[in-house]
Amino acid sequence: MSASFEKGYNALKEQVDSTVASFFSSCVHCGMCAEACLFYTETGAPERTPINKTEPLRRVWEQEYTLFGRIGKLFGLGKKVTDEMMAEWETLVYDSCTLCGRCSMVCPVGNDIAGMIRKTREGMAAAGHAPDGLIGATKRAVTIGSPMGVKLPALQAQIAHVEKDTGMTIPVDVEGADYMLLLSSMEIMNFPEFIEAVAKIFKHAGVSWTISSEAFEATNSGIQIGVSDIAAELVQRIVDAAAKLKVKNVISPECGHAYMAIRWEGPNLIGKAFDFKVVHILELLDDLRQQGRLKVSGRLSQRLTYHDPCQISRRGGVIDEPRNLINMFADNFTEMPDTGKMNWCCGAGGGVSSNERADEIRLQVFQRKKDQLDAIHVDGMISACSNCRIHLEDGLEEYHMDMPVLSLTETLAENLEDN
């Protein structure tokens, strides 16, 4: 990734389209997006107002794509983007934004501000103003195949463990399977129970599935850091593996941005519609539920809530499915105030968790999640993103709150009837 200001400027130019232009033309500086953003509400710093994070992109739009901006530029008027300015914006664009998209739901003129910050990152990364942590993760994703450096032998070892513990076979490289499962590195290393849970549920419901040894990684650092070329390369690996194994469906696992990457950005990144369907694991499970292929044995009486991962719910469209599934086994399901598409981010998505510089602020803004949880007094929290889970656990510990954070898929698997 050789970076230069010129490349960054050109990358920003490439991001401007009719949506960006109508958004910037409509902003009235009302400041309501600040109140939608936990990085503002929990710190009170006006510069963290979401629309301000898009300033590099706005300046490029104004100077390159508006008649009056161009005339102004001839006379040396208007605010220019400079390398120094972009360097100054780095912490706003990466450390103080998880691309959660709550601002986009609140803006009274309808600006998709999170989408614009995502686009701004394309320019920032190309100009070399991205955090080291994310650059490292992206390099590992390209060279090793995983942002955490997880190689195939590590996955094989975890699979061997699961097979030994359960006596089940985990299908690898099975040609013609109906579903190809992707995994996040976090699941492979920290939550191998997820693989076990999926295997158990699929055995229970009779789903034909496989894991590819060539493309098992679901996460995509390219879309977090904002380098479309790399994001496309990572998507292409999955597309190639799906073609090789002749699968009809690819399953995106419990990971927020992985779903965004493969489901919504994927085909646009590689410039071609997929020959297979992409389903989120929760969509598939809810489908199985509807078909009557999931039978639960016990019901949980604890008071449970669900934390919507932003990229799965608000930005992804998987909102009802988790609730249908939780209601299968939970007697006492309670929603947080502001939930579903209006849920507050955990504070560590969008690459923030890969960026050590943001460690302090991500825990500071967790106060928002604490306030949400304090309002409902629950015994446990379910979610469907391993990145959310890790950070939720971190946050709960930091604020001395004691409650388990559960995976929806794993909790469902635990409560299934034995075949």
Among the listed residues 133, 142, 118, the one whose alpha carbon sits nearest the alpha carbon of residue 1: 142
> For 272, phi and psi rounded to 5 degrees?
-155, 135
Task: List the structure tokens of 266.
Answer: 């994927």
Supply the minimum distance, in Å, between the C-beta of residue 81 and other proteins. Answer: 16
Supply the minimum distance, in Å, between the C-beta of residue 336 and other proteins. Answer: 11
Nearest residue (CB) to other proteins, 100 versus 403: 100
Report how far residue 53's alpha carbon sits from residue 117's, in angstroms, rounded to the nearest whole number. Answer: 6
Supply the minimum distance, in Å, between the C-beta of residue 281 and other proteins. Answer: 16
119-148: b (≥16 Cβ within 10 Å) or e: bbbbbbbbbbbbbebbbbbbebbbeebbbb
Stretch that binds other proteins, among 3-11, 28-36, 168-176, 177-185 (CB under 8 A): 28-36
Strands 405-407, 300-306: pairing kind = unpaired
Supply the minimum distance, in Å, between the C-beta of residue 239 and other proteins. Answer: 12
Report how far residue 235's alpha carbon sits from residue 220's, in angstroms, rounded to the nearest whole number. Answer: 8
Beta-carbon count within 10 A of 92 CB: 23
Supply the minimum distance, in Å, between the C-beta of residue 196 and other proteins. Answer: 29
Task: Find the binder of other proteins among 315, 362, 368, 389 (CB under 8 A).
Answer: 315
Nearest residue (CB) to other proteins, 200 versus 280: 280
Is residue 26 a contact point for other proteins (CB under 8 A)? yes
Number of residues that bind other proteins (CB under 8 A): 64
Binding mask 184-223 toward other proteins (x if CB under 8 A, else -) reads: ----------------------------------------
Stretch that binds other proteins, among 16-24, 158-166, 245-253, 390-398 (CB under 8 A): 16-24
Nearest residue (CB) to other proteins, 33 versus 183: 33
Nearest residue (CB) to other proteins, 155 versus 361: 361
Contact 147, 84 (CB under 8 A): no
**Binders in 273-302 for other proteins, by CB under 8 A:** 273-274, 277-278
Nearest residue (CB) to other proteins, 193 versus 233: 233
Task: Find the binder of other proteins among 28, 74, 206, 419 (CB under 8 A).
Answer: 28
Contact 246, 217 (CB under 8 A): no
**Binders in 70-129 for other proteins, by CB under 8 A:** 104-112, 115
Nearest residue (CB) to other proteins, 29 versus 400: 29
Is residue 372 a contact point for other proteins (CB under 8 A)? no
Contact 218, 195 (CB under 8 A): no
Nearest residue (CB) to other proteins, 48 versus 289: 48
Supply the minimum distance, in Å, between the C-beta of residue 98 and other proteins. Answer: 17
Amino acid residing at 197: A
Residue corresponding to tokens 């090793």: 144
Asked whether the CA dihedral 347, 223, 258, 337 is positive or negative, the reply is: positive
Three-class SS state of 25: helix
Among the listed residues 148, 200, 233, 193, the one whose alpha carbon sits nearest the alpha carbon of residue 415: 200
| DSSP letters for 289-329 | HHTT---B---EEEEEEE---TTTTTTT---HHHHHHHHHH
Nearest residue (CB) to other proteins, 21 versus 189: 21
Stretch that binds other proteins, among 21-29, 133-141, 204-212, 217-225 (CB under 8 A): 21-29
Is residue 151 a contact point for other proteins (CB under 8 A)? no
Binding mask 333-362 toward other proteins (x if CB under 8 A, else -) reads: ----xx--xx--------------------
Nearest residue (CB) to other proteins, 46 versus 176: 46
| DSSP letters for 336-404 | PSS-GGGPPP-S-TTTGGG-GGGHHHHHHTTHHHHHHHHTT--SEEEES-HHHHHHHHHHHHHTT----
Task: Find the binder of other proteins among 5, 9, 23, 194 (CB under 8 A).
Answer: 23
Nearest residue (CB) to other proteins, 47 versus 178: 47
Report how far residue 120's alpha carbon sits from residue 36's, in angstroms, rounded to the nearest whole number. Answer: 19
Task: Find the binder of other proteins among 142, 144, 154, 319 (CB under 8 A).
Answer: 319
Residues that bind other proteins (CB under 8 A): 16-23, 25-32, 34-36, 40-41, 44, 46-47, 49, 51-52, 65-68, 104-112, 115, 263-268, 271-274, 277-278, 313-319, 337-338, 341-342
